[in-house]
Amino acid sequence: MDSSAQFVEWAVVGSDIGPLLLAATGQGLVNVVFHADEAVRDRAVRGLAARFGTDPAPAVPGRAGPLGEPIRQLGAYFDGRLRDFTLPLDWSLASGFNRQVLRELAAGVPYGTVVGYGDLADRVGRPGAAQAVGAAMGANPLPVVVPCHRVVESDGGLGGFGGGLETKRQLLALEGVLPQPLF
Q: Which residues are catalytic?
A: 148
Give just the sign of the alpha carbon dihedral 49, 133, 34, 73: positive
> Three-class SS of residue 15?
coil
* Residue 69 three-state SS: helix
Strands 115-116 and 151-152: parallel
Q: What whole-number distance in Å separates Cα of residue 55 and Cα of residue 35? A: 21
Rounded CA gap, 161 and 158, in Å? 8
What's the half-sphere exposure (Cβ side, CA atoms, 13 Å) at 146?
A: 29
Please enumerate in sequence order all residues whose Cβ is within 8 A of that of 130, keeping only pairs 6 or more positions apart, or say none: 116, 117, 118, 120, 121, 154
Cβ atoms of 54 and 1 within 8 Å: the answer is yes
